[in-house]
Structure 1
């Protein structure tokens, strides 16, 4: 019994020594934080971070090309400047002056979809924009002429030709759920 216990203790000690050696070797070959991610500066350094040059679309509403959605039901990009439209609060939302269902047709703008007029958790419909969705820039961002930071070959596969310009989220939200 004693010999078995000695063998277990000896094996455990050897494993600890080996782990310590491996840890020491791993620490010596660690990757510097400047080599992680796209920032290329120390993770704690905010002063020397250089963002890529991005040209934001700053023209007036209605005067820019509208980019296709990135994928079906992706939040569409904002094709105009946000100057004077921010901040968005529950009490003050300049987006709704042009994008409510009632006004959009008259203004020639894209109306907020049906999913914004209901509580998705309960299915309860509302007459006004759902109060959980009042902050438009939480999902929608301004269009920019920017190259992807990481190259990829993703191609959106839209189920129909309208899906690249409109949302059918309410219709497909529970698709495949029994």
Structure 2
């Protein structure tokens, strides 16, 4: 195809997209899974039945794959927003407290600065304060799409424990 024909085909396709895009389209409430405005984050999402149980009362869901962040097994409704100054998660999940309250302890990787390659000992990495970036609340819902993935854990307790800090450089020369 010569250059002029290519320009003409691209121009017609672009005009078609513009024309179709101006035919009403979708409102902000029709986009995404939550079916509510995308312009306001203060909306309660009621599409799913979060278990809402108190900490320690629910059954833990195994990790989806090796070293996947574990899911939050309890309600976090009164714990949000999580900030550096206000993080309720650490009151139970810091390693020195977790065993006593029967909570999952934060792994060693949360006390390591990967950018500076420095062990922070008992000081949590400042980039790890917002727990819900990686961890999500367990929900009673059917999958939205079929998933045939089967995890293959290399260690016996891989579905419940993380060894990321020990293997993070595995295979790196």
TM, length-normalised to structure 2: 0.79
Query: Where in structure 2 are there 5+ consecutive unaligned residues?
Result: 36-46
What RMSD in Å do the two structures reach over aligned CA positions? 2.4
Who wins on radius of gyration, i.e. which is larger? 1
Q: 1:151 to 1:29 in 2, by over 3 A?
A: farther
The one of 73, 76, 83 equivalent to 2:77 is: 83
Asked whether 1:51 is paired with 2:34, we answer: yes
The CA deviation string for residues 66-95 of structure 1, in whole angstroms up to 9 with x for no partner, is 111111111111000002111111111100
Match of 1:137 in 2: 132
Asked whether 1:160 is paired with 2:158, we answer: no
Match of 1:18 in 2: 5
- Structure 1 window deviating more from structure 2 (128-137 vs 21-30): it is 21-30
**How far did residue 27 of structure 1 move?**
5.1
> Following superposition of structure 1 onto structure 2, how do residues 24-103 of structure 1 map, counting pairs within 5 Å?
26=13, 42=26, 45-49=27-31, 51=34, 53-103=47-97
**How far did residue 29 of structure 1 move?**
7.2
Provide the C-alpha distance between the structure 2 equivalents of 1:66 and 1:102, rounded to a whole number of angstroms: 21
**How far did residue 166 of structure 1 move?**
0.6
Aligned residues: 156
**How far did residue 123 of structure 1 move?**
3.0
Q: Which structure has more helix as a fraction of its residues?
A: 1
